[in-house]
Amino acid sequence: MQANRANIDSVLITGLKKDNHDSFQKLFEYYSVPLYKFAFGYLKSRDLTEDLVQEVFLKIWNNRKEIKTDTSFQSYLFTIALNAVRKYFNKVSQLNDYKHQVLVDLSNNQNDFDKINDYESLLNKLDEFISQMPEKRREVFVKKKIEQKSIREIADELSISVKTVEYHITEAMKYLKIEFGKHNLQGIIFFHLFIGSLKKN
């Protein structure tokens, strides 16, 4: 059975390398479900898993000329999927490290820390405020403050000027200051400690 599947894959890969869309569609129809189950086992999210499956098959199509017909396509496919899963968790880890640093900064100032009874809820507020930013501003802010990319890198990635990147960061900071200011003294304290943690980056 496995040998037969390997032969089928070899024929389909040959067609795929010749830009045959029907071959690509047949590979997708056969492997998308097991690939989905594999990725879902890690991600536990339908939306994330669906995005990952699409990303994997897009990579298959884009790299179709380099795929070898004498190796296991299934192994190749699931290796790409596993790397995509690892990439996702690396991004999550970066975000968690960033939030952890905020908590560390809070604990370094004991007097202010004592005044903050529920800093976890303030961290949740931070997520909420970021999600409410205009799309481009949010994208710039996340790249700068969470992914820790330089202003030049962001400008190049988004095809905008350095001044535009700086403008979005400034406006994002103003917005956060206003929003945290609305949440009494705890919010104000948290904002200043949060800004302090960003300056270290």
Q: How confident is the model at residue 184 (pLDDT cuts 50, 70, 90)?
A: low
Q: Are 23 and 16 in contact (CB under 8 A)?
A: yes
DSSP 113-179: HHH-S-HHHHHHHHHHHHHTS-HHHHHHHIIIIIS---HHHHHHHHT--HHHHHHHHHHHHHHHHHH
What CATH fold (topology level) applies to the domain 116-195?
A: Arc Repressor Mutant, subunit A (1.10.10)
3-state secondary structure at position 71: coil
Compute φ and ψ for 149, nearest 5 degrees.
Answer: -90, 155
The pLDDT tens digits of the residues spanning 14-66 come to: 999 999 999 999 999 999 999 998 888 888 889 989 999 999 999 999 999 99
Is the per-residue pLDDT at 197 higher than 70? no
Better-predicted residue by pLDDT, 51 or 125: 51
Average pLDDT, integer, range 160-184: 84
Rounded CA gap, 178 and 145, in Å? 18
With left for phi above 0 and alpha for psi between -120 and 50, is residue 67 left, alpha or beta?
Answer: beta
Classify the C-alpha dihedral 91-92-95-96 as positive or negative. Answer: negative
Show the 3-state SS of 169-197.
HHHHHHHHHHHHHCCHHHHHHHHHHHHHH
Summarize the confidence of residues 68-79 as an average pLDDT.
Answer: 86
Q: Which CATH architecture has domain 1-108?
A: Orthogonal Bundle (1.10)
Q: What pLDDT does residue 33 have?
A: 94
Structure tokens at 145: 């403050």
Output the pLDDT for position 106: 40
Mean pLDDT, the chain, as a whole number? 78
Say which range, 16-20, 107-111, 154-158, 182-186, has the weakest mean pLDDT. 107-111
Give me the mean pLDDT over the 136-154 stretch.
85
Given a cut of 80, whether residue 156 has pLDDT beyond it is yes
- Show me where the domains of the chain are located: 1-108, 116-195
The contacts of residue 78 (CB under 8 Å, 6+ apart) are 35, 38
The predicted structure's pLDDT at residue 152? 94
